[in-house]
Amino acid sequence: MSAAPQPAPGARPRVLVVDDEPQIVRALKVLLREAGFEAIPAETASQALDLAAVRPPDAAIVDLVLPDGDGVEVTRRLREWSQMPILVLSAVGEEEQKVRALEAGADDYITKPFGGRELVARLQAALRRSVREEGEPTVAVEGLEIDLAARVVRRDSEPVHLTPIEFDLLRVLVHNRGRLMTHRKLLAEVWGPEYVDDVQPLRTHIARLRAKIEPDGAASPRYIVTDPGVGYRSPRPRRSRTGWTSSASGSGSPRPSSGC
């Protein structure tokens, strides 16, 4: 999977806008231009995928309902090869579709009708999260290797493909190994301070992340432990004769429940 593209110095970040409603596309083009972006419109799922393949954008805004498919499938196809930030547009009442989009790799969602400032703020936050953090170390814990600079994760030497949000959650947790990270703290660190009450998307992404990295699943977590109703923690490694290992139970304290 390729990293999110970075715009050339001085160039406007290119945002793929996938929606078949002309008035929404026109409004988004004006809104994005005023915010310093270049909008690349696409009316259908197939057109969006073709445009992205020819010249990958820096981010994408994808409507959930399209003439030849849906935004979930577009998200899934883009996420197969790119870590670009993806925001989905949904109507009120499309809760199941929003969850499916997040599971397919979307970074965030906006509910119609939406405010221009909110959309730009969410897009900018997603782009900030996608920027590679240079000079960070590689962390290895019980068979899980996390290259923080290259944004690469391996489990038992096999690559694990994470979405940008999943990687950022893991990065924050391992940066704070041994510390309880509350729901609000994780949401502020990964999504931004304006999203500290959106707990359900956090739980969805944590569940997806666990499914990818935990050898024994959520029933017996090694890397992400739940403090019920409060948040999550990555257990602090302890020194053993064979190297660093993690202890999910902490220093003699009872092991927290593993539920989300």
Given this model, what pLDDT does residue 35 score?
96
- Residues 6 or more apart in contact with residue 102 via CB below 8 angstroms: 109, 201, 204, 205, 208
Contact 118, 29 (CB under 8 A): no
Q: Residue for token digits 């119609």? A: 112
Where are the alpha helices (H) located in 80-161, listed in sequence order?
95-104, 116-130
Distance CA 60, CA 127 (A): 10
The more confidently predicted of residues 198 and 256 is 198
Domain boundaries, the chain: 14-130, 138-246
CATH class of the region 14-130: alpha beta
Q: Is the pLDDT of residue 224 over 90?
A: yes
Contact 33, 50 (CB under 8 A): no
CATH of domain 138-246: 1.10.10.10
Given this model, what pLDDT does residue 198 score?
87
Q: Is the pLDDT of residue 157 over 80?
A: yes
**Helices 164-175, 116-130: crossing angle, 10 deg rounding:** 60
Contact 253, 215 (CB under 8 A): no
- 3-state class percentages of the chain: helix first, strand second, coil last, to nearest 5: 35, 25, 40
At residue 63 the predicted structure's pLDDT band, cuts being 50, 70 and 90, is very high
Give 88-142 pLDDT, tens digit per residue: 998 867 777 877 888 788 888 888 888 899 899 889 888 876 664 444 578 887 7
